[in-house]
Structure 1
Amino acid sequence: MFSNRIFTLLILLLSFSNHTFSIESTNASLLEALSIAKKTTSSGSEKINKTNLIKQIKLIGNTHTDSNTILQQLTLKVGDPINPYKLRQNVKSIQSLGIFKEVKSNVEKSTNGSILTFKVSENPIVSKIEFLGNSIFDKDTLHALLNSKINEPLNLNDIRIDIQRIQNLYLDAGYIQSKVLKVDTPNSDQSPIKFHIAEGYIEDIQITGNIKTKNYVILREIDIEPGMAIQKSSLQETIAKISNLGYFSQVYPEFLPGKTPNTYILKFQLEEKENQGSLSFGGGFSPKSGVSIFSDLMWENLAGTGRSIMLKGNFGISTDSSTNRRSTYIFKYNDPWALGKRRSFMLNTWLTDGKMGAFNPYMGNLSSQNERRFGIESGIGWPLSYEFYTKHNLKYESVTLPDKEIYYN
């Protein structure tokens, strides 16, 4: 029995020894396979990286454009890997130069690297530059502003700069509605660049909001006329002249599209003042001076015509003969455009009746007597400019002394 047990133990040891050897053999085979796979992968990776690397950059189609101008736009260089995103960005960067109609890219791969080719199609050569619609500035003045040059390729970036410079020229001169409508770019070397300019002309003038004031009273203050280009300084002067009439609290200009393309209707929206005149009435009494009654009427913009009248009356009754008593009546009329453009006519008449007192410093006494004065005055105003004018008046007055002087010591 003992020998049988020993035999069984020997069999188990031999079986365990064989199994262990099998495991070790298997591990060695796996390590060898991994090493071979690693070498194979490493070799394939080297081939892929080399294929994607840029070995050369070529330019095609740039007849008039220097190659360095294009190459300076590129971020991809020889030795860089091909990157689709960066490739698209480089195409856009070349297009941003503004001198090409079309830009295409092509990648030609080989085992020893890739050839990156940019094919460009250049814009036409500028043979002539024309301006249409300009009358305020001549073509020589406009030509001097341009970046675009004759006998050079069309550059869209220069066109954008040219448009801005032309519009700034008009704007700086006060032509606030002027603009470059469009630019016709050449399709071939024989076609010109055409700048279409709208200088902003007035087709018509309209007025709203003037309930009392007649239209002609306002229009005669406006020096702007249909057919004129809209200029900021002229518009400001016109607003000031309408405001100086004194009939309106607000003056709003507005530009509406005209029937003719690129023209405008200049519309003035007005807010008219409610009161354009005044009436005052009163009186008083004192034991020494007596009774006094007065009434004043001032009417500006008579019936909306721009004329004005003034009526003034002062009636007095004294309580005794030694007190001055006087009544005065005045009428005044003015028409600022009676004789033509801002040539005014004025008429003034007055009547004074009553006792007038005067102190004589040499005699040391006070004299008093009744007198009647009637006068009339007329005048014309002649403008030298809007701000300055001359007045020429003619005056007549009649004085009547019905009584002798009375002296009071």
Structure 2
Amino acid sequence: MKKSLVTVVFIAAILLSFSITAAAQNIPIDEVTKISVRGNEYVGDFEILNAVQTEVGDQTSQEALRSDMQSIYDLGYFSDVNIVFENFEGGLHVIFEVVENPVLKKIELSGYEGLYTAASIKKELDLQTGTVLNVKKMNQNLKSFQEKMQNDGYVLARYKNVNISEKGVLTVKISPGHLSAVEIKGNTKTENYVILREVPIEAGDIVNINKIQKGYQNLHQLEYFKNINPELVRVEGEDNQARLVINLEEANTGRLNFGGGYSSTDGWLGFVDVSEKNLFGNGQNIGARWQFGDTTTYSLNFYEPYLLRSDFSFGFSVYDREKERTNAADEDYIRKSRGGSITFGHPLPKNWRTSLKYRAQDTKETWSDSGETFYDKSLRSLTLGFSRDTSNSRFHPTSGSINNFEIEHAGDFIGGEMNFTKFTWDSRRYFPAFSDHAIAARMKLGLSEPRTPLASEEYDLGGSDSLRGYQRSDFDDAVPNNNLLLLNLEYRIPFNESFTGVLFTDAGNVWEDRESIALDDLHYGYGLGMRMNTPVGQLRLDYGWDEEQDGRLHFSIGNTF
């Protein structure tokens, strides 16, 4: 007949208390001349007597013997401990009578499916079959495993039943706690399926608070909602179930922005920007932009994160760009680019994502004074990309990283007049600093195989987005910029939610040959700047000095890194 472990332990405690009391009332006062153990079959005398403090030659003491019985019981091997006395060599022979727990023959687990493997649970319990069950060790390990389940996010998981039979079969039944339903409240525009696909837990799943937290982060990154409040509510009358209620307050996802200013990258400019992040509540992103001034751009882009409700994403963009530039010889020219791209993406494990992009672009460059065309090339390329973003904030990240790796191949079977292969690795890392300050570090490495001259496809260096204190024309010369190494380091000091001060140092260079890349051949810049968060994006103002201590003002829109 099986006995509940809790019952076994409880009864043993009662028996022990009774035995100690009875023994205490009948303890003869005499010298202890011998101490032994009776009733143990598997647990050795030495281990038992090692817990006894009374020694041969001591006078019998009710308090001491009570403590010795408790110490033996606390070893965890016995369901009952008693004490008897016999005369021996003019004194007392103290005999500790013990009743061993059953020998553990087998461990049967249930309810663990979806949590861990049976082997991993048995490893956590650390109980050896073929030996007397140590209840103390078992209880400690059951408690530790309960804490592990909690730490791993299984906040409802508990033991439904723990039994040890007389035949030595330990049965551990776990109730993991399931999600009965996911309810969404407060969404007036966004469709339910758009919200649910961002939450990696659904009705019927085992409740895991880490998955709920991940869903909260996913929803927050969408920027569709002003407030997000997930609640886990117990279901009355159900067997260890809860429902997830996601309370939402919709945000304005449409934008109409216009303005003007001066950028050290694009010169004087004006712009009109229209975008919608959550088109018709279906989670699609569409935007159009007109920029005019020294740089004129017309662009249209569209992004569907879940194509046909699958895990594949889809996006396309078309653009027409005209930009005035100056080369190293201080000659002005106009670069006109027209093209577009189509991109498919798919998630990978551990927050990575891969994408494949087809790009088509026609580029023409003409002298500003004569209008003569000196460059006219078509580009067709495929880009395989891998990206991962674990940063904790859009404007002021203090932890995590952003990694992007791309391989772009143009020409050959893809078509176009340009032939090259480019490898670009852009890695950014964020660290907390004093108070709410942050340290941001970036390394960008660009490598390309020898190719036909490509002008617009060369790596750019200098300006507000790379090596501050310099301008791009400082690195535009007769040597093709086939390879790039750029290092950036910033110390960011937020003054409030809108303004952040920055101290920075940059290093970088471009080379024609890969063999020429060297850390002792870098140009350096340093300076300070200010960031302002606006509905348009982040406005950046930096003042940087080059190696000759010449200063330059940089102004641009959007995050540096």
Same fold (TM over 0.5): yes
Determine if contact 2:104/2:170 at 8 Å carries over to the other structure.
Answer: yes
- Residue identity in the other structure for 2:130: N
Determine if contact 2:311/2:347 at 8 Å carries over to the other structure.
Answer: no
The 2-side partners of 1:79 and 1:328 are apart by 101
Determine if contact 1:221/1:241 at 8 Å carries over to the other structure.
Answer: yes
Find the counterpart in structure 2 of residue 148 from structure 1: 127
From 209, 215, 222, the equivalent of 2:199 is: 222
Determine if contact 1:253/1:268 at 8 Å carries over to the other structure.
Answer: yes
Q: Give how far 1:159 is off.
A: 0.9
Structure 1 residues 251 and 107: alpha-carbon distance in aligned structure 2, compared to 1, 3 A threshold: farther
The 2-side partners of 1:100 and 1:228 are apart by 40
The 2-side partners of 1:294 and 1:304 are apart by 27
The 2-side partners of 1:139 and 1:231 are apart by 19
The 1-side partners of 2:225 and 2:290 are apart by 29
Q: Which has the higher strand share?
A: 2
Larger RCO, structures 1/2 (Cα 8 Å, 6+ apart): 1
The 2-side partners of 1:223 and 1:55 are apart by 68
The 1-side partners of 2:346 and 2:89 are apart by 94
Residue deviations 1:144-202 (CA, integer Å, cap 9, x gap):
44442223222102212432464476578x454374515534341x2410122234544
- Residue identity in the other structure for 1:344: F
Indicate the SS of the match to 2:40.
coil
Indicate the SS of the match to 1:301.
strand
Equivalence map 1:138-287=2 (5 Å)? 138-164=117-143, 166-167=145-146, 174=152, 176-177=154-155, 179=157, 181=159, 184-188=162-166, 190-230=167-207, 234-235=211-212, 237-249=214-226, 251-258=228-235, 260-270=238-248, 272=250, 274-280=251-257
Find the counterpart in structure 1 of residue 327 from structure 2: none
The 2-side partners of 1:334 and 1:66 are apart by 72
Find the counterpart in structure 2 of residue 387 from structure 1: 353
Find the counterpart in structure 1 of residue 99 from structure 2: 121
Measured on the aligned residues, the alpha-carbon RMSD in Å equals 5.0
Find the counterpart in structure 1 of residue 46 from structure 2: 68
Find the counterpart in structure 1 of residue 110 from structure 2: 132
From 311, 314, 326, the equivalent of 1:344 is: 314
Residue deviations 1:70-90 (CA, integer Å, cap 9, x gap):
222222223322322222222
Determine if contact 2:36/2:49 at 8 Å carries over to the other structure.
Answer: no
Determine if contact 2:183/2:243 at 8 Å carries over to the other structure.
Answer: yes
Indicate the SS of the match to 1:275.
coil
Determine if contact 1:333/1:346 at 8 Å carries over to the other structure.
Answer: yes
List runs of 5+ in structure 2 lacking aligned partners: 1-27, 261-269, 321-337, 363-561
Structure 1 residues 230 and 393: alpha-carbon distance in aligned structure 2, compared to 1, 3 A threshold: farther
Determine if contact 2:32/2:59 at 8 Å carries over to the other structure.
Answer: no
Structure 1 residues 271 and 134: alpha-carbon distance in aligned structure 2, compared to 1, 3 A threshold: same
Determine if contact 2:307/2:314 at 8 Å carries over to the other structure.
Answer: yes
The 1-side partners of 2:122 and 2:257 are apart by 67
- Residue identity in the other structure for 1:388: T
The 1-side partners of 2:159 and 2:146 are apart by 10
Indicate the SS of the match to 2:139.
helix
Determine if contact 1:313/1:329 at 8 Å carries over to the other structure.
Answer: yes
Find the counterpart in structure 1 of residue 82 from structure 2: 104
